Structure 1
């Protein structure tokens, strides 16, 4: 999707616009990670969504995780930046610690579960699984691109 910027009464082609999203890699003390099964497409992913204009990335992560899962979090650190080259979405992923709340589904989630790294690899596509696995390795922040299905080769 190519977006155009409008200046005055003229519309001209310019640099494509990007959407910024945030997601939480929520790690429990036992090493399990919080995941949702999305209501719109049934896939397993980490909780997150579009960053709103008036909020910081950390505020956005905490809001999205709470909205989608019922879990409150303390946002720790940025663990990765992931660009979907097909859709122009840049996702910022933050490692988080659960700080309260109770797991529940929402209009955006069919299921909420705490998964092991092995279960993440089995249930999630590689472009989402890598975001959680990167958050565990402590070597971040990672910067990766993908086409929506497959990671692009590292440069």
Structure 2
């Protein structure tokens, strides 16, 4: 069944983009983060999913492009929607398999941080994506306005 966001006679096509991000966790519990070159924010590595790839392929590609780290995808840990921009983000817990972290064309810095450092270093809507990946009650489904979480729940 087609659902429209139009209130008039003509149906409109919802405009959403889908992004993927990796909550990459080393054996010592540290998590991989990048300092974005475009805005200077600390975030999990990730980006827009391409039309010809699965979400898992996309997260592997994005993490490698942004950090130099090859990963193995373990599980979906959260679905997050930016209500203001129409971006749906799928976050996957991953484990590193090879590679060396390095700055890239998209990241001025790449670091492994402790879970207790996440909230101090990152904005709420990105910190929660990493912290949710540590919670065994996954996946989480949350909405936000770009800065603050506006709703959240655990999926059954």
Q: Structure 1 length normalisation: TM-score? A: 0.90
SS of 2:38's equivalent in the other structure is: coil
After superposition, the Cα gap between the structure-2 partners of 1:154 and 1:59, relative to the gap in structure 1 and judged at 3 Å, is: closer
Unaligned runs of 5+ in 2: 1-9
Task: Give the Å deviation of 1:17.
Answer: 1.0
* Matching residue of 1:69: 67
Task: Give the Å deviation of 1:117.
Answer: 1.2
After superposition, the Cα gap between the structure-2 partners of 1:116 and 1:17, relative to the gap in structure 1 and judged at 3 Å, is: same
Partners of 1:100 and 1:108 in 2: CA distance = 20
How many residue pairs match? The answer is 144
Unaligned runs of 5+ in 1: 1-11
Q: Deviations over 1:90-132 (max 9, x none)?
A: 0000000000000111110010000111211101001000000
Answering whether residue 51 of structure 2 is matched by residue 79 of structure 1, we say no
Q: Structure 2 length normalisation: TM-score? A: 0.89
What is the root-mean-square deviation in Å for CA atoms of aligned residues?
1.1
Partners of 1:15 and 1:130 in 2: CA distance = 30
* Matching residue of 1:102: 100
SS of 1:16's equivalent in the other structure is: coil
* Matching residue of 1:27: 25
Q: How does 1:4-153 map to 2 (within 5 A)?
A: 14-153=12-151
| Displacement over 2 Å in runs of 4+ | none
